[in-house]
Amino acid sequence: MFAPPARSRSPRLPELGKYEVIEEIGHGGMATVYRARDHRLARDVAVKVIHPHLRESTEVAVRFRGEAHAVAKLRHPNIVEVFDVSADDEPEQYLVVELLRGATLRKILKDGGELPPEVAASLAVELLGALAHAHAEGVVHRDIKPENVILEHKAFAEGATLPERVRVKLTDFGIAKLLDAQGVTSTGQVLGSPAHMAPEQIEGGEVDARADVFGLGVLLYECMVGHLPFEGANPAQVLRRVLEGVYPSAERERPKVGRAWSTILDGALAREPKDRFAGANAMRDAIVSELARVGVSDTKALLADYFDAPQECSAKLEEELVPRLAKLGTDARREGRHMDAASYTNRALAYAPNDPALLASASSLGRIDARQRALRRGVPIAAVMVTFAVIGYFGSRFFVRPPATAKPIPSRVVDAPAPSLAVAPSTPPPPPSAPTTAPLPAPPVVRTVASAVVAKAERELVVRSVLPTYGVTLTLDGTPVPRIEAGKRITASRDAHTIKLTCANDACEPEVRTVAPGDQDVELDIKLAMRPATLVVETKSTSKFQILEVPMPVFGPREIVRVPLGTSGKKTVTVAELSPPNRKELVELAAGKQSSVTIE
Per-residue pLDDT, 397: 35
Residue 4: the pLDDT is 52
Range 326-334 average pLDDT: 91
Residues 242 and 153 in one domain: yes
The structural domain count of the chain equals 5
Task: Encode pLDDT of 337-363 as tens digits.
Answer: 888 888 899 999 999 998 888 888 877
For residue 528, which of 515, 512, 511 has the smallest C-alpha distance?
A: 511
Query: Residue 179 above 60 pLDDT?
Result: no
- Report if residue 50 sits inside a domain: yes
- Asked whether the beta carbons of 118 and 296 are under 8 A apart, the reply is yes
Identify the CATH number of the domain in which residue 35 sits.
3.30.200.20
Mean per-residue pLDDT for 297-325?
94
Lowest mean pLDDT among 50-64, 308-322, 384-398: 384-398
Residue 560 lies in a domain: yes
Q: Are residues 362 and 451 in the same domain?
A: no
Residues 497 and 583 occupy one common structural domain: no
For residue 1, what pLDDT is reported? 61
Query: CATH number of the domain that 143 lies in?
Result: 1.10.510.10
Last residue of a domain, one of 392, 416, 436: 436
Q: Give the domain CATH number at 471.
A: 2.60.40
Residues 16 and 121 in one domain: no
Q: Are 523 and 539 in the same domain?
A: no
Regarding whether 261 and 123 lie in a shared domain, the answer is: yes
> In the prediction, which pLDDT does 432 show?
40
Residue 61 domain boundaries: 1-101
Kindly report, residue by residue over 112-127, the tens digit of the pLDDT. 999 999 999 999 999 9
Distance CA 585, CA 583 (A): 7
H or E stretch at 311: helix 310-334
Residue 222 has pLDDT above 70, yes or no: yes
* 94 and 108 part of one domain: no
Q: Say whether both 547 and 404 belong to one domain.
A: no
Q: Give residue 310's pLDDT.
A: 94
Out of 436, 462, 483, a domain closes at 436
| Domain end marker among 527, 562, 579 | 527
Per cent of the chain over pLDDT 90 is 40
Q: Cα 298 vs. chain centroid, distance in angstroms?
A: 17
Element (H, E) at 38: strand 31-38
**124 and 97 housed in the same domain:** no
Residue 55 confidence (pLDDT): 73
In a domain, 315, yes or no: no
**Same domain? 7 vs 77:** yes
Note the pTM of the prediction, 2 decimals: 0.69
Annotate 572-587 with b (16+ C-beta within 10 A) or e (fewer).
ebebbbeeeeeeebeb
pLDDT tens digits for 357-384? 888 887 777 666 665 555 555 544 444 4
Q: How many of the other CB atoms lie within 10 Å of CB of 64?
A: 27
- Same domain as 496, residue 352: no
pLDDT digits (tens, 9 = 90+) for 526-550: 888 888 899 999 988 888 888 887 7
- Judge whether 318 lies within some domain: no
In 27-116, alpha helices (H): 52-55, 58-72, 105-112
- Dihedral of the CA atoms 115, 116, 121, 123 (nearest 10)? -40
Catalytic residues: 143
Residue 441 maps to a domain = no
Cβ proximity of 539 and 549 under 8 Å: no
Amino acid (1-letter code) at residue 476: L
Identify whether residues 236 and 111 lie together within a single domain.
yes
Picking from 174-188, 260-274, 321-335, which range would have the lowest pLDDT averaged per residue?
Answer: 174-188
Sheet holding 594-598, edge to edge: 561-563, 533-538, 594-598
- Please measure the distance between the N-terminal and C-terminal CA atoms of the chain and give it in whole angstroms: 39
At residue 564, what are phi and psi to the nearest 5 degrees?
A: -70, 135
Q: Per-residue pLDDT tens for 418-430?
A: 333 344 344 444 4
Q: Tell me what the pLDDT averaged over the chain comes to.
A: 80
